[in-house]
Amino acid sequence: MSIFTVKPKQNIKLNDIDPDDTGKLKQKQEAKELLEQNIERMAELQNILYAEGKHALLIVLQALDAGGKDGTIRSIMSGVNPQGVRVTSFKRPTEEELAHDFLWRIHKAVPPRGMIGIFNRSHYEDVLVVRVHNLVPKSVWQKRYQHINNFERLLAENSVTILKFYLHISKEEQKERLQARLDQPHKRWKFDPRDLDERKLWANYMEAFEAALSKCSTAYAPWHIVPANKKWYRNLVISEKIVETLEGLKLKYPEPPAGLDGIVIE
């Protein structure tokens, strides 16, 4: 599978990574069959994760507008038990949130052991949107890269496994997806004219994403760049990485209480 894992301190240039890449897979149907297998396996592993209660999995999804964060969640999480998954979408901070440090609202949403947490946008907005729109001085947001690395290290050292995915689409693909929201009646509710203003800042966002990917990919919380122009391939790659990560935790069901073999239920 084509998934680009950013090495620590690696200088990333997104133009060097093809958002149309589908690796060795050329057929959507083949990917669909593999995705179904991954979804089934993920459900099995989630059950053990919950029962064991020793690990948490945090999945971070970042992308530009229309990048596919919602679609990714709907697809790859379609087989898991909803009681074991918590999705948090980070919107514009509230007055209460702005009265605290930028990580305060993030830490509250981190999944407890036994759970899978998904961040639809995340703490990275504070080095992306904040940077592009000059919401705070450079002297402030520049320090946040190290704050983020320290925060993620804290989580990793407390049994939270972090998977960070940047969904890499082209500007042309974004145009097609935004146009589809205008053209299709059942998608019109998703169209926000402000997305067009953000689109004008494409180059600024690319620069901000490259900085975040380069400065905040660590051994304990690496960034994975996913070619995402093809939704079917995006879903497959991410589901495969989640399964691989959960299997790597060597999850086990807890030992049952002693004496169960002698119990007779009348």
Instruction: Say what the pLDDT of residue 262 is.
Output: 84
Instruction: Say what the pLDDT of residue 2 is.
Output: 66
User: Between vectors from CA 163 to CA 234 and to CA 123, what angle results, nearest 5°?
Assistant: 105
Q: How many residues does the chain have?
A: 266
Mean pLDDT by 10 residues, the chain (266 residues): 88 96 89 96 98 98 96 96 96 95 98 98 98 97 98 98 98 96 90 92 98 98 97 97 98 91 88
- Amino acid in position 43: A
> CA–CA separation, 135 vs 200, rounded Å?
17
Claim: this prediction has a pTM higher than 0.85:
yes
Relative orientation angle of helices 28-52 and 231-248, to the nearest 10 degrees: 30
The Cα-based distances of 66 to 1, 218, 236 in angstroms read 23, 27, 18
Instruction: Say what the pLDDT of residue 27 is.
Output: 83
Radius of gyration of the chain (CA): 20
Residue showing tokens 């391939």: 233
Please name each of the domains of the chain with its CATH number: 4-249 (3.40.50.300)
Residue showing tokens 């979408």: 89
Nearest to 5 by CA among 183, 261, 213: 213
Cβ contact 137:129 at 8 Å:
no
Instruction: Say what the pLDDT of residue 185 is.
Output: 87
Cβ contact 198:65 at 8 Å:
yes
